[in-house]
Structure formats: C-alpha cells, structure tokens
Amino acid sequence: MLPLQEREIRMSKRIACVGCGGKAAVKRPKSGDPICRPCFYQVLEDEVHETIKKHKLFKKGEKVAIGASGGKDSTVLAELLTVLNKRHDYGLDLCLLSVDEGISGYRDDSLETVKLNQQSYQIPLLVVSYEQLYGWSMDKIVATIGRKSNCTFCGVFRRQALERGANLLQCDKLVTGHNADDVAETIIMNLLRGDSARLSRCVEIETKTGQGGIPRVRPFKFTYEKEIVLYAHFKRLDYFSTECSYAPGSFRGYARTYLKELERVKPTIILDVIHSGETIAFQKNTKMPKMRQCSRCGFLSSMELCKGDGGSNGGGGRGG
C-alpha cells in the first residue's frame, strides 16, 4: 500500500487546482483542497506571513536567531524566513543557532545538514554544545541515570542552551520551528498531566524566559507538520529526518499517536485542539507555581534549583 502522502499526490493529479485551475499536485492536509505546487508554495508562505503580521512577531532591524536542528521544521523555517524577509522587507538580521546535545549518530549527522543550509542561505551559524555549557553530553547523562526522563533533562538543557547561544549572538528574538502538531501535542500532554501552568503557557505564540530573557516566537504555530514536509519535499530542501535515539517511549510519542488517530477522522482536529487550549479558562483560585530565577544559574524556574542544576543523580551537570 502506498504511503498516505504519495496516495494524496497521485489522486490530486486527476483534479484541478483550487487556486489556478491547473493540474493539482497534492491535496492540502490542512483543508483537503487540491492544489498545484506554485499555489501551495504561495498559500503556505502567505499564511506564515499573515501569522507574523497578525501577532507582530518581529520589528524592523531586529537580529533574529533561527533555532536550527537540521530537521524539516527548522530547515523550512530558515527557507521561509529568508524568502519572506526579502519579499516583505522585514529588515531582519538572520542567523542560525544550533545545539549539539552530544548524541552519537544523531546530532553529529544533523549538524552537517545545518552546515549545508548555512552555505545555501549565506547567514551566520553558531553551534553551542551541552558539553561546552554544562560539562555533560546527553550520552553521558543517559549512561549515568539510565533511560529515564531523558527528554525532560534534554528539554531543560536545550532551552537554556538556545537562550545562551542567542545571548552570545546578541539577538533580539529567537525563532523556533514548533508547528501546529507540536503545539496540539503539548496541549494534550499538559491536559493529561493536569498541568495548569504549562497549559496556559504552551499555547502562546511568543514566550519569554523571565526578566531580561530573549523572546521566543513560533511562526509555525498554525502550520501543519504534513504541509511542512510537503514544502520541504517539493522544494527539495536538505533536512535530517532520523528520530533521536532517546525519543522512543517518551510521553510525547503517545500524545502524537493519539493526535494522528484523531486527525485521520477529522483533519481539522489539530487546529481545534489549539483553539481549545487558547480558550480554556482557569478558576481564579487555581494555584499556579511562582516562577523565580534559579539560585545557581539565573534561568527561570519554578524551583530554587532548575532541573539543569538540580537534576537527579548529577544528571543536570553545571547549569551556570
């Protein structure tokens, strides 16, 4: 049986494009409309531009770091921001920022893809590593604590590493490739955990890591993962698609599977979940954790020591 995307592409070839009337190349996952490649490029680029405009994500003259992992999301993000920056005269000073978590056979390969992108777009690239910042790599952490809570540790380290890298680059904004699927998955995860604090924050298109922190923006908040993949495929962009070796069995994986099952029944479910997350209201007496600065490294935390500094069994390494 053919993969879903290939079946959609073959089926769409017999149908006219909803935009120009020409031969359709694909059925849009977001709307189900048949569309040709040029119209698909234009629609996706216009939608991202409208998101940027509507939410006022950038100001002219800002220096913006693109969180670049070498995966499909960050690769398409770098492509689109480069295109839109020129087309709409955003006036942004773009650069690439990558984090080397120290995962053998995974991150070292994906960083080669980032370097290819850097050469294509001719924008500066900075790579920061866990080893350099904390004295620990993810391989060392896993060897110490075993295969448990790996994504939790990595997530904390990665957020801090991106912040530190953006500071080194003296950036005004940090932009990440989190797409609509990612946001919907996070909403489901926080609902299942009963985590009111994270649920209220995870739907924001712009977040800040405390006083003096660099704002992070997500232009792909309403962009479907499948459409990002199709854009990368049609544009023949170089990206790394291997899953992290420590990801299988993560809580997010179960949320992703659940969301994909729902999407098969109702393609709009991803945006529906996001809109639901945005409109959830909490009672006034709902207790939210008070955010403070980590007493050791100064990064935002709900505890005296953030997980980067106070991780179990020494897995946190040196946060400062």
Q: Which residues participate in the annotated binding site for ATP? A: 67-69, 73, 99, 177, 182
DSSP annotation string for 279-302 = H----TT---PPPEE-TTT--EES
Q: How far does CA 306 lie from the centroid of its chain?
A: 22
According to DSSP, the residues that pair with 27 across neighbouring strands are 34
The span from the CA of 8 to the CA of 27, in Å, is: 6
Which helix (H) or strand (E) element contains residue 126?
strand 125-129
Q: Cα dihedral angle (179, 184, 188, 191), rounded to 10 degrees? A: 100
Q: For residue 231, which amino acid is it?
A: Y
Question: Would you say 65 and 173 are in contact if contact means Cβ atoms under 8 Å apart?
Answer: yes
Annotated binding site: 67-69, 73, 99, 177, 182
* Residue 105 CB-density burial (10 A; 0-12 exposed, 13-18 middle, 19+ buried): exposed
The span from the CA of 180 to the CA of 170, in Å, is: 28
Helix extents (H) in 55-129: 72-87, 107-121
Q: Cα dihedral angle (178, 226, 87, 117), rounded to 10 degrees? A: 70
Question: Would you say 135 and 143 are in contact if contact means Cβ atoms under 8 Å apart?
Answer: no
